[in-house]
Structure formats: structure tokens, C-alpha cells
Structure 1
């Protein structure tokens, strides 16, 4: 049978042929035009992500071919397909410009800007839908869906708006938060109703033997509401499956109530429309049922805040905000190649928190110094990458201004366009504004790495007692034991809480640790080891050494290789076994600094080490000494420094996510309860009853922290001089590099002396309320120089190296 022309095929529809022809040609041309515009935009979206580009190419091809097919075969079924497909595209466009890009890709959740080209394309699609409706015969179905579709959109949108306003304090009015948010979802609502109506009618006839009455109407309401709820949750670009399920549940409940009320009043879409008076019992019952249903669904959340204390009232110490902040830190999350030791172990995908002003100095840790400081992005500052340690005194309010500056591609492309945040444990904060995550109906307080959108400010109230509390990002969490997400790559830090009124100085330079008044964006030192070590000076109390030791299991020390360590440093046995010493074997030799250098040793401003070409200790040729009048060193290691009996607090925290560990410090002890600080009398000599057990090992697990307040100070009561190792007592972890040293010096180290292998010893400023030890002499060159040994072999046993405890002097400082 020969194909009929388009007007002949439309004659049986009863539509004026001339109008039908115009509608067909208009629809065909509009479809082709929309396809051309999608094709024009495809390269731009392809550059963002291949999936976006593929979608635009597929849409362009489908719309172009559809327009040609419609001109050739203008059937009702083809016209109806066009109505459904273009309604879906319009609904997707509305979602991407309001709630954000749904489903997949690097820009999920990001709302796209409205442009001239996309407005033209969606206008063509709307015109196409209007032209296809009479051709498809769907005008009656669409008209019957307009009222319930609008009611569904407005009802569900209103409840979602009220729920969010009641839980995270949104101040958007009804016009901004409800109407402007709900109206773009109308195409999606109509599509859900059109798709579900024939299915619900067929199911009603099968199940109930009739498609009229309360049961078919209820089935239609549930089917339509379920379809819309799933589509709405997916198009809303939820941050998590939990959020998607929450939104879908709310929309399902509200839409079911709204649609059943509409069906009770007007009938199902396929039923003959019924009329009713406003005061008709059926209308009154429907309105009352609708109000009761919405009250049950939304009432507890909307009005619950009237019967519970506000988030601010629940915060310890009162409200913490910009007006009450005692301190402010400017923090960035950046990518840095993290070196772990001199043997070439390095994480090329490292992620760290850093003070803004230290960013370039940390990134450039390995770069040789420029001839002129002005020619270097860090002005020739070189800082070893370390976990960021912020500090506050007890009870203070801390402002943290955070910027996500991570690269677009992370971990070899496994993660793109990452969001980041800071969430602190152990401090109080307003969970609606400073949580660092996307929880419940709270706003997402993480930020993308998109410039202009990548900043947020958090406020924390620290506890009223000393300690250390970890923080980390809530956005790139752990995947499995050996894939610990951003934690494995270094994106963690801590806030140390110090005694009331205390000042904090750098133990190497004697200067305040942090530069600036009010807003802090860098440390004062120009090179070396930032953040982790400090001298703490509290009014009316002895000064003490503080060392923050952030432990991590399953660092990614090389791509595909994991290790254990402290403060981005690890010294696994495997590296030292590849370089055996000629005259010694065993643990005493493999852990010795004599033949191998200090643990987790790295060299600044000297390029990167490799397994084939490790850094050699003692080659002070990086240029930092010249800048610092001979006192600087190219090397930084995992060694904590003190003088005999210096009051010392080592604050441990487990930033890892895998296991519980037992940490053991040789030659020193502390109390199980760190609150038992009265271990000495006023003279500093006589031990009091501490009230808790004395330990030299303590167990702690992921997210936990504790303070080892060393009894009698560094070196314990005898004032033991030398290296005291601290390590995990699980030997496989020990062998994987989980150890560091506490080094107690018996002579004054002023930054000009060297270890036997030629490495400069960093300066150790005496605590201001203690007598400084004498300088090195011919009779006592000081540890480790008094040990008769060669750096090419195993050391000999040293002479006894201890002394009587040195009490603090009575003199007071006039300045901090």
C-alpha cells in the first residue's frame, strides 16, 4: 500500500488539514533547531566531562532525526513520543538551573547559569510540545493533569520548604524558597502524571474489576506520587543516597495526600470531571483530609523548634560567631607532594590543610632556592609538609576561614572536582553552619573547588580543658581498610587546647608560633618544621614543651603502597634493609641514627629523593644556612627535642581509620588520667599521689587522642639523656615505619652544632623559667657526639647519660 501524504494520514483526526500541516512543519523545524543548538553546545560540555558531551550529542541526534521522521511519518504515536521526550528535556533543564546537575559527572549538585543559547533551546522545546499536543491527541489528557500536576508541585514544594526552614533556619520567603523552587518542577510533575495514568487505570481494571471509585483513585494517587517522588529526588542532585531517600519519602507522602484529595473532589484523570460547590460535604471532607495529612507529615519538624532549645543555646560557653571569636585562622586545602623519608617514599597525590600564607612554602619544599627571593613564589621560604596544628586557649571561640584549593583531578583521576570541608571533633559548634558536611536538612557546609564558590567560615568553641582534637574533611571519606580516602593522603589536622591565658612560642626560634594579630595566615619561621612543636607559657605555671604527634595507619607512601607513621613521616624497615651496615645486624642497628640518619629524614630545597638516589645525611648544601646566619639546616626529621627534665607534653592523636594501636615511649612515663597534673609539689621535686596509674604504653584508636604529660619531664626522674624511641607495640606496624624519637640533649644546642654525620642540629631554646644547660665542651661535646662510633657502622654502647632532676627556677619573665 502506497504511503499517504501527511494531510491524508491526519484526516481521520478531525483536525483542520491546513492547521495540521502547519503544526507538523512547525514541530519538525523546531525539533531540528533544538537539535542544532544542542550540537553547538556539545564541544563545551565535552570539555567538562565526556558524559555531558555524549548526552548533548545524543540529544542533538535524537531531536534532528525526530524532526525529519515527524515530517515523513506524522502519526499520533510519534507525536505523543515527542511530547513525553521533550517534557523530560524541559524538566531536566529546569533541574539543572535550580537544584543542580543531577545523576552523574563532576558537577553534580552545581546549578548551571542561564545562557542565551540554552534559553533558545528550551523555548524551541516548549514550542515543539505545544505544536505536538493537538497532533498527539494528548490535549485532553494533559488538560486533566494540569490541576493535579500543579497541586502536586506546589504541595510537595511547600512542605519541603517548610521542613528546611524549620531545621536549618532558612530565611527565604515563600516567593524565593517555595514558588520559584517549585514551579520549575511542573514539567516533571506533568510527565509523571501522564506516564502513570494509563498504568494505574489498567491496574485498577485488573485488580478491582472497575476503574472508577475510591480504590482506583487511591491507586492512581500512589502510582503518580511514587513516580514523581523518584524523579524529583533524582533530578534534585542529592548529596547522598540518604538525602535522596529522605526527599523522596517527603514528596511521596505529600503528593499522595494531595493527589488523593484532588481525585476525591474531581475524579481520576480518565473519569468524567465532576463539579462541586465549595461547601459541598465532599469538598469540605477533602480539604479537611488534605490539611490533616499535611499536618501529620510536616508539623513535627516545622514546629518542633518551638519546643526545643536553639542550636546556639546548646553550645558550651555561649554563642560562638564573628563577634565573639578570640582567634581567626585562614586555612586552605591544597595538593602537595608529601615526602615521608629520605628513601624516596612520596605521595604524589598528597592533600593537606595549610595556613594560607604558608601555602607556597609548603608546596615548594623540594625546590632549590632562587637567586633572589623575589623570584620565588614562596620568597625562598621552605617548610616541610606537616599536619596543620591550630591552637587556642581553653574555652575560646575560634574562627576558621576555609578555602578549598584542591586540584580538579585527585588520586590519578579517581576523583574529580572534589568538595572539601573541615569538621572538628571534641569542640562545640552550630551543626547547621559549621559541621563541614551534608547532614539531614542542614545546608551542605562543605565547599567545591570552584573559584568564587570555594570559601566558607566555621566557628568552634574549644573545651574548658587541655587536650588535642582532630579535624578532617567530611567529603572524601574512607572506602576500605587500605583505601582511607582523603585521610590516607594527609587531609587531616588538629586543634590543641592550651591553658588559660597562655602564650605559644616556637622552640627553635623563640618567636611566637603564628604571625599576625587577630587573623593568622602563616607561621613566623621561614624554614624547617612548622606547626607540630611548641613551647607553652601559662601565667603562674611552669612552661612546657608540647609535641603534637598525629599518627596515621595506611598512609599512601607510594601509589599502591601503604605504611604507618607520625606527622607525614615514616621509616619502614624495608628501606634500611636494602642498605645494610657492614658491621651490624638486628634491631639495635636498623633503628640507629648512626648509620642511617634520623627517622623520616627529608631534605629541603634539594629536589626529590628516589629509591635509587636517596638523600645523604650531612650534606648541608641547600642554601638555607646562608639565609639564617649559619644556624639553618637542610634537614627535617621525626625527632622531638628537649633538655633533661623539661616539662613535656606529647599529644597523640590517631588520624588513621583502620586499627587500634598501642603506643609505647621508652625511658619515660605519664599518668593514665591527664587531669592528674599535680605530680610534683611547688618545688618540682616531690612526687604526690597522682590518683591514677603510671603508664609507659597506652592504647587508642581511630579518632581518639590523649596527652602523655611526662612525669618529671623529658628523660623522667633520672634526666636520661639520649634518644628514647616511641612506637606502636604491634610489631608489624613498627616494622612498617610506625616510630619516632624523643631526643634529650645534655648541652645547649644553639643551631651551630652538628650530629656525627654532619647534619646540623636545630636550635633548642631553653624554657624561660629553667636554667639553660652549659654549651658543648671538649670534655662533654654533648649527645650524640660523646658516643665513640663511626657513622658508617654500628654505634658502641655509650657511657651512663643521666643526671639529677633540675627544678624550675623561681625567676619570672617580664614579657612573653
Structure 2
């Protein structure tokens, strides 16, 4: 668990008026509520003070110079850790890690049955974002499988254009919570730009209307599949959209945050600012006490002092809307994961093109085979594309002692070189974000889920990593004779919607070949660490892993064995799986797919589950590496391309775009 980054003593507030102002200062210019918002005097949040950030600003205070930047300006990555060392008269920090992050509106599609949120919000790297005006060119799995994942989104870098509300994720980039990595002894520099749409969205005008701007490559397809009717049917909840050519905005307060400001609050990290080459107090928005206006950006700096997972979110709109969860329930969250000093991090699963760029096919062998001689050392993992962007490595050198994050994948291979007290080691890191109170709309095939409260327990209401597979759509599809299980006569009880055999893997979106579902891929005997976060606003949930355990506190000397962990909102935990792969529990190397999920019935029914899968067919490199693979010299093509571990020999998995179900 990581502590909150701030605290305010309300004992200092002597009146109800002061308390109300303090609450508004924590929440932004106007708290998002299911009712009229309250507003602070102009300028109090848009121009937050650089010092006295716990002090409540009062009307009549002298103006403070605006510290924000144009939202279109990319990060200037320089070795600022030297300034911190000078201020501390020490040498604690050895490098600077930069992250150019933007917040944007993005349609979130939760599963293959079309459950979606047209007004999702998320953090992403600027290089992974494209202009809305750019027509998607890669829209299916085959086209995406031919891409490396290093292609830039194409945003202008001069800062002259106002980009707020005019961007989307680049082609073939599946929406996932952002994960920024750093090592102990780094300084993390985040350029945080607010590119959210300036005005709060409205379903009838911004989604149902024919002229509405797209929000990602799935937007138009989803809009064409929703039910339409007259105004009376829409008002009664029988239809989603008004069939009239130009529907009018619905009266009343929308069920999502009206506040468009945001911030970047990382729980447990020590934030600071820089001004004139000197270390200063952090900008309010870097600690969750202020808001970044639309189309503006700020620089946040954090000291990286201990290993572990650190949850991040925006607290500018902390309440209101679905589940009274504010912007959190629409996806505005992520994490900073801190690795041990000296670690390197690499992408764990990619497209076919990226795999072949790193490990070309071996000559004179089956077409899926790779020369085992190329699987040793780190050289292949540091392969660059034609623009000198790393294909697997997550960092790109900028200035001396400064590196920029170019991949923000949920999953990674983390490699630590040999040190005085520890041998060389690697592990596979899986990011797992629980989030509930989803704002979910359905296509016309599943209108019943939105209409009838009797089906509330089967809706897509719980998710992992922006993916949900509730039983409602699966069950209705089977009963209506549509979808992958249309002709499944034996699909009767929970075994068909809690497994993959009938409907495919959970949260499956086939057109993202490098990240098609909530399945985490590894190999026999891989060391594995889960980073588990709870991004929901209210309920406590449980992470439960089948077939494997870990030590409480990840302490092999004192901890008790666990296979479950209670996780409260905005908590974060690490699970260092005992034995890593299967050799402890299954010495024979038999294939297994241990599932992890929320253990409470309502949560699994509404979509919270996942799988860790293992490959069985592999290249024979060493007896221990291949387990029971029996000396095979070929690899089976399956999805996605999962890279072997860095230290020691490991089998690898080759991509296939055809999915089960």
C-alpha cells in the first residue's frame, strides 16, 4: 500500500466558508456533481501558487504568474537530477527519466460484444496520440500486425496548434492504463498536458449526432450499432439515440464529470518543482491540489526513492457522475512502477513485425523457427527501428544522463544485472488495474442490460485494464443465437462465461494483435511479479490467483503464503509469485492457465477476470528452459508475440491473429 501524497489539517479551518473553499481547492474549478457545480473565483485554480500549496487561496490575493505551458509543446528532456543533487549536497540521483504525457478523450470498448464508453478519458504518451483529422489506415489485425509499435502518432511539435479535443490514440494502439517505469535513484520528469475536450460531453449531441467528431477508430462502427428511436423512447430509456438528423442535447446534468481540468497525483512519490535552476515546492497540480486548464501543460518532478507500485490519478474531478467517482471511473488513472537500481525494462509482447525485426527467421528451418544463437545477451533487446527508436527497450537516450520513456506497456520484462549481493536476474511484470462503476453503453443487441434493473448484476460494471467480460452480453448472445456461442446447446451455467472455451478470452478485441485480451503471457519457469492496483471509487475487492502463491510482504524469510489479497480503492500491491513459473507446482511442465479474478460473485458476473497463459511448444535450448517440450525446434504461432526472458534461456511464443472462440 502506498500513502496518499498530501494531507490537509481541517483543524486550521475555523469556519464553514473556509472548509468549503478548501474542498473546492482539492477538487478543481467546479466539482463534478449530479447537480449544479460550485465555482471558485476566476484564476484561483488555473493559476495555482508555487509555494504554500496547503494554504487555502482567498479572493483578493495578489495574482501569481501563470506557470503553465502550451499543451502542444513536447517535453524538453534534460538531466535535472544534477540540480536535485546540488540542492541536497549529495549524489543520490544518477539519471533523469522523462515522460511526455497527455490526457485525452477516447472511446473505450470493453469487449468483443461492443460494450463501450464513448466518453472515456485516459493518460497516454504524446508519441502514442494522433490528430483526430488523421484518417485511420490500419484498422484490422493483419494491418496492425505489420506495424512495429514504434510509429509516432504525428502530433505537431511546435505548440502553435490548439490540440484539446482534437486527438485520439494512434492506429493499432489499444487503450490501456498508462504505466511509467523508473528505477530507484532516478528523477522522474513528467510533462503533463491537458488535451481533453474543452466542454463536457453530451451523449445526444456528441455521440448520437451524425456530425459528431470521432473518438478513436471504433467510434463510427459503434454509433451505427446502437438502437435508435423517437424522443419519447429515448426519454424512457428504451432506445439510446434519437433517430432525428440533429438531436438536441438532453436537459439536465449528464452522468459524467463536467470539470475538464485535471492533475497528476502520484501517491507515495515526493514531488518538487524547478524554477531558475533551483528546486522549489511542487506545482499544486503535481500533488493533486490544483488543476491544469484545457490546452495547457505543466512540468512535474518526482524523486524516485524506493521500489514498488505507485498509483496515479487525477483528483481535479473527484466526485459526481457514474458511481460518484468523477473522472476516475472514466479511465483517468495509471501508475508509476519503480524497479530496483540498475534495471532495464523491455516490452513483453508485440506484433509479428516487431518480433521479426528483433529476431529474424532462421534460414533453412520451418517458417516459425528462430536461430537459438540469437537468443543470448541483451543486444537483440536493444534493437532500434529506422528512426532509432527502441523496438523493445522502453527508454530512448536524449541528453547525457537523461532518457525518455517511449513505451508505456502494462506488461514488461525487467532485467537486473548482477550486483555484489545478487546474481543477474529477470522477471516478467504484469500490470493489473481493477476499476468498477463503469459507465457502459450497449449495442442494440443488448439493450436489455441498460433498460432493466433486474439485469444490473450482469452488466459490464467491473473491469480490468479497460476490459470487461460480464455475463450479461455472453448470456444474451447465446440465448438470442448470435455471437461465437450462438449454437452452443451446452452453454447453460457459469462454466461457459467464466472460461474461454465458448466466447474467447476475457475482454477480447481481435484487431489488436499485440494486446488482444486480458490474458498475460509467459513461459514455463519464468519469474513473475504482479503489480495490482485498485482504480475504483468505493468498493473493496480481492485479487485471487489460482495454482500459485506468494509470500505476504514478498518476504520469503517471514511472510505467510497467500493466494488472495484484499485491495481497497487507490491501493497498490506487488505479488512476487513463489517459484515464478510451473516447476514448483507442476514439475512435469504440464500446460496450465491459472486464472486470477475478483473472488466475489457479483464482481465475476459483471466482468472482472483474467488469465495467465503459458506456452508448451518451444525451442530446445536447455533442459530446464523447455520443460516437457521434448526437444522441439519449432515454435507454434499463437497470439501475441511474447518475448523470452533476458537472463537464462527461455522458450518464446509466436503471434497468431486467429483467436479462440
C-alpha contact (below 8 Å) 1:349/1:410 kept by paired residues: no
1:591 and 2:498 correspond = yes
For 1:329, the equivalent position in structure 2 comes to: 99
Q: 1:664 to 1:409 in 2, by over 3 A?
A: same
C-alpha contact (below 8 Å) 1:604/1:634 kept by paired residues: no
1:478 and 2:319 correspond = yes
Q: CA deviation at 1:694?
A: 0.3
Q: 1:520 to 1:435 in 2, by over 3 A?
A: farther
Q: 1:556 to 1:481 in 2, by over 3 A?
A: closer
1:662-702: CA deviation from partner (whole Å, max 9, x where unpaired): 1110011001112x2xx4xxxxxxxxxx3111000111101
C-alpha contact (below 8 Å) 2:96/2:403 kept by paired residues: no
For 1:517, the equivalent position in structure 2 comes to: 397
Q: 1:660 to 1:762 in 2, by over 3 A?
A: same
C-alpha contact (below 8 Å) 1:333/1:352 kept by paired residues: yes
C-alpha contact (below 8 Å) 1:325/1:399 kept by paired residues: no
For 1:636, the equivalent position in structure 2 comes to: 516
Matches for 1:110-259 after TM superposition, within 5 Å: 110=43, 167=52, 243=56
Q: Cα RMSD over matched residues?
A: 4.5
1:547 and 2:337 correspond = no
1:474-530: CA deviation from partner (whole Å, max 9, x where unpaired): 211123771311111100010001011000011225443425224766646xxxxx6
* 1:657 pairs with one of 522, 532, 537: 537
For 2:248, the equivalent position in structure 1 comes to: none
For 2:640, the equivalent position in structure 1 comes to: 762
Matches for 1:451-466 after TM superposition, within 5 Å: 454-464=296-306, 466=307
C-alpha contact (below 8 Å) 1:361/1:382 kept by paired residues: no
For 1:502, the equivalent position in structure 2 comes to: 343
For 1:569, the equivalent position in structure 2 comes to: 467
Structure 1 distance, partners of 2:171, 2:518, is: 20
Q: CA deviation at 1:167?
A: 3.0
1:394 and 2:184 correspond = yes
Matches for 1:644-723 after TM superposition, within 5 Å: 644-674=524-554, 676=555, 679=556, 690-715=557-582, 717-719=584-586, 721-723=591-593
C-alpha contact (below 8 Å) 1:410/1:416 kept by paired residues: yes
For 1:625, the equivalent position in structure 2 comes to: none
TM-score (norm 1): 0.47
Structure 2 distance, partners of 1:791, 1:604, is: 14
Q: 1:484 to 1:319 in 2, by over 3 A?
A: farther
Q: CA deviation at 1:460?
A: 0.7
Structure 1 distance, partners of 2:51, 2:330, is: 38
Q: 1:699 to 1:376 in 2, by over 3 A?
A: closer
Q: CA deviation at 1:589?
A: 2.2
1:75-123: CA deviation from partner (whole Å, max 9, x where unpaired): xxxxxxxxxxxxxxxxxxxxxxxxx99x989996259xxxxxxxxxxxx
1:357 and 2:127 correspond = yes
Q: 1:599 to 1:655 in 2, by over 3 A?
A: same
For 1:203, the equivalent position in structure 2 comes to: none
C-alpha contact (below 8 Å) 2:106/2:118 kept by paired residues: yes
Unaligned runs of 5+ in 1: 1-99, 112-163, 170-241, 252-312, 525-529, 606-632, 680-689, 755-759, 777-781, 793-816
Q: 1:499 to 1:711 in 2, by over 3 A?
A: same
For 2:368, the equivalent position in structure 1 comes to: none
Moved more, 648-657 or 501-510: 501-510
Structure 1 distance, partners of 2:475, 2:324, is: 27
Structure 1 residue matching 2:341: 3-state secondary structure: coil
Q: CA deviation at 1:661?
A: 0.9
C-alpha contact (below 8 Å) 1:365/1:382 kept by paired residues: no
For 2:42, the equivalent position in structure 1 comes to: 109
Structure 1 distance, partners of 2:101, 2:90, is: 18
Structure 2 distance, partners of 1:320, 1:447, is: 33
Q: CA deviation at 1:247?
A: 5.4
| Greater C-alpha radius of gyration | 1
For 1:448, the equivalent position in structure 2 comes to: 293
Structure 2 residue matching 1:326: 3-state secondary structure: strand
For 1:346, the equivalent position in structure 2 comes to: 116
Q: 1:520 to 1:401 in 2, by over 3 A?
A: farther
Q: CA deviation at 1:445?
A: 4.6
* 2:282 pairs with one of 433, 448, 451: 433
Matches for 1:780-799 after TM superposition, within 5 Å: none
C-alpha contact (below 8 Å) 1:437/1:475 kept by paired residues: no
Structure 1 distance, partners of 2:582, 2:393, is: 25
Structure 2 distance, partners of 1:368, 1:774, is: 27
Structure 1 residue matching 2:502: 3-state secondary structure: helix
Structure 1 distance, partners of 2:634, 2:333, is: 31
Matches for 1:710-749 after TM superposition, within 5 Å: 710-715=577-582, 717-719=584-586, 721-748=591-618
Which structure shows the higher helix fraction?
A: 1
1:126-148: CA deviation from partner (whole Å, max 9, x where unpaired): xxxxxxxxxxxxxxxxxxxxxxx
Which structure shows the higher strand fraction?
A: 2
Q: 1:165 to 1:708 in 2, by over 3 A?
A: closer
1:257-314: CA deviation from partner (whole Å, max 9, x where unpaired): xxxxxxxxxxxxxxxxxxxxxxxxxxxxxxxxxxxxxxxxxxxxxxxxxxxxxxxx99
Structure 2 residue matching 1:459: 3-state secondary structure: strand
For 2:328, the equivalent position in structure 1 comes to: 487
C-alpha contact (below 8 Å) 1:671/1:693 kept by paired residues: yes
Structure 1 distance, partners of 2:533, 2:43, is: 36
1:379-407: CA deviation from partner (whole Å, max 9, x where unpaired): 97411000000000013211001110000
Q: CA deviation at 1:419?
A: 1.1
C-alpha contact (below 8 Å) 1:641/1:742 kept by paired residues: yes
C-alpha contact (below 8 Å) 1:753/1:761 kept by paired residues: no
Structure 1 distance, partners of 2:38, 2:522, is: 52
Q: 1:434 to 1:745 in 2, by over 3 A?
A: farther
Q: CA deviation at 1:555?
A: 2.0
Structure 2 distance, partners of 1:569, 1:320, is: 45
Highest RCO, 1 vs 2 (Cα 8 Å, sep ≥ 6):
2
Structure 2 distance, partners of 1:542, 1:457, is: 34
Q: CA deviation at 1:165?
A: 9.3
Q: 1:428 to 1:341 in 2, by over 3 A?
A: same
Structure 2 distance, partners of 1:661, 1:716, is: 30
Structure 1 distance, partners of 2:460, 2:265, is: 25
Q: CA deviation at 1:343?
A: 0.7
